[in-house]
Amino acid sequence: MTAHGLITLALFCVVVTLAALPLGGYLARVYAGDRPVLLEKALGPLERLLYRAAGVRKDEEMSWRQYALAVLLFNLAGVLVVYGILRLQAALPLNPAELGAVTPEVSFNTATSFTTNTNWQSYGGESTLSYLSQMVALTVQNFVSAATGMAVLVALARGFSRASSTGLGNFWVDLTRGTLYVLLPLSLLLAIFLVSQGVVQSFEPYPVAKLVEATLDADGNVVRDQTLAVGPAASQIAIKQLGTNGGGFFNVNSAHPFENPTPLSGFVELVCILVIPAAFPFLFGALVKDKRQGWALFAAMAVVLVPLMIACLGAEQSGNPMFHHLGVDTSASSLQPGGNMSGKEARFGIADSAAWATATTAASNGSVNSMHDSFTPLGGLVPMWLIQLGEIIFGGVGSGLYGMILYAVVAVFIAGLMVGRTPEYLGKKVEAFEMKMAMLGILLPAASVLVFTAITAVGPEEGVRSLANPGAHGFSEILYAYSSASNNNGSAFGGLTASGPWYATTLGIAMLIGRYWVIVPVLAIAGSLVKKKTIPGSPGTLPTHTPLFVGLLTGTVVLVGALTFIPALALGPIVEHLQMWGH
């Protein structure tokens, strides 16, 4: 493991933490609404105009059922609008490449994907979608799907902070404030920075460049020109990273030089992937009026992420042992980066690629600057397992933290059983209803992964025909795809062709399960807790801000993830690793 790799990881962790602390305080002011927000003078009139246009009263509270219904109806409308735009694309403006309508199954998959904040892509953006589809259909959903996850987390926090009540706030207000005061201004700043680095932002038709040297296409015809795909990319890339969306404007995502041109743009985008999710524990601590709780949740996430980052970096820098047997020198030196450079961009190298792979799968982001399919078996296992943990190690904006709180509920319940007393978390009793909802939120996405993977591996012909690799690696491609969809990540092992009817449909269903079968139980827990009285702490209360609780929470996360997925991982990356070393 090189010094450059360790320095990159250390610098990334420090910058994210230092940026997350003040951002968490700002988020608390945005959602609490009891103190002025920096941009309120400029954006306040627009906020009030939006409420009047939608017929929303800012002070009107919603029960958990009303909140959940608003979330579901709003997201259903998003699916229908995106599906309609994609199917009618050929007849709509801003389509200089004259691209045709998207097929029904890919339109369904894409509409579901972007509405659920998954951003799984069963298509190549530059060859499939018009500028209008990219902006109006996808970029808009990048904002509102992220704001939806943020709103649900805030509603859960109110369930803990309020007592003997029924109201969890107003979804429309939370959605609007998160978009106006957080996502829009940060995205504007990031987009300007990205343009300065060379990310394209254009409405011009695709330009044609003369090749320096003529070449032949697949049919043997002479090719002297190259069409360069451009478009309004910077504006979409900014919210794709900040909103933990991950869907690329171009097919190869953040490995494309028009999306991510320089090492500096790569590092800044990498920080932006985690900065809002990392700020949410501090927001939660502020909303429940105990900042120590935020630090405990942040620490539990970091304790899992940092070792896995180091493990992925070590696996990739160790290289491929089959090359060692052939006498090929893969050690790092002044003349070569060493290790496993397969599938990685030279301008990023192994360290930045490994850091990105772990951060993007920890954060429910799904963007890639290298091909995970080309990682070593153990290097690819790390991002896959981070997804399978439920995207709770920082996770998506809002969704990562409410997923982690489900594990916290389970952890305090287990601790309560150990000492023979009713478990409590943040002064609220955790009873049978909360446990049932927590287990639904944890187990249903996991069941979706395993059931769809098993059916696809032994069922339809398309399941195996779409694989680029046989054996254990092919199984890993299927397992990764359903892990990514069911946990709303969106990245993929690139050897799988997922645009056929079976994959497009089943992955879309998996995304719906992974998003809404977590959101509804989370809101149900919030609705149950907000009715309860706050119980003062006693000598028998388990402190939930101590290193002991951080260890208990981390152990619960790792144990549940290991017990659920180790058998499947043993059939994929683990056996592939053993086969590779056996040769």
Write out pLDDT tens, residues 449-506. Answer: 999 999 999 988 888 899 988 889 999 999 999 999 999 999 999 888 888 899 999 9
Q: Locate all alpha helices (DSSP H) within 90-166, ordered by sequence.
A: 104-115, 125-128, 131-132, 140-161
Pick the closest to residue 497 from 66, 63, 64, 106 (CA basis). Answer: 106
**Chain segment 16-35, per-residue pLDDT in tens:** 999 999 999 999 999 987 77
pLDDT of residue 460: 87
Answer whether residue 286 shows pLDDT above 70: yes
- SS3 letters across 26-52: HHHHHHHCCCCCCCHHHHHHHHHHHHH
pLDDT at 579 over 90: no
**348, 313 contact by CB (below 8 A):** no
| Inter-residue contact 297 to 411 (CB < 8 Å) | no
Cα–chain center distance at 463 = 25
Work out the percent of the chain whose per-residue pLDDT is above 90.
Answer: 79
* Strand, helix or coil for residue 208: strand
User: Bridge-partner residues for 467, per DSSP?
Assistant: 496
Buried b (16+ CB within 10 A) or exposed e, 293-330: bbebbbbbbbbbbeebbbbbbbbbbbbbeeeeeeeeeb
Which stretch of DSSP H or E encloses residue 510?
helix 501-531
CB atoms within 10 A of CB 50: 16
Contact 133, 231 (CB under 8 A): no
* Residue 126 tokens, joined: 């530059």
Q: How far apart are CA 249 and CA 520, in angstroms?
A: 31
φ, ψ at 222 (rounded to 5°): -75, 135
Name the one residue in this structure whose structure tokens are 């059922």.
Answer: 65
Only one residue has tokens 């009139």, namely: 45
pTM of the model: 0.94
Residue 444 Rama label (left phi>0; alpha psi -120 to 50; beta): alpha
Residue 248 has pLDDT above 70, yes or no: yes
Contact 225, 212 (CB under 8 A): no
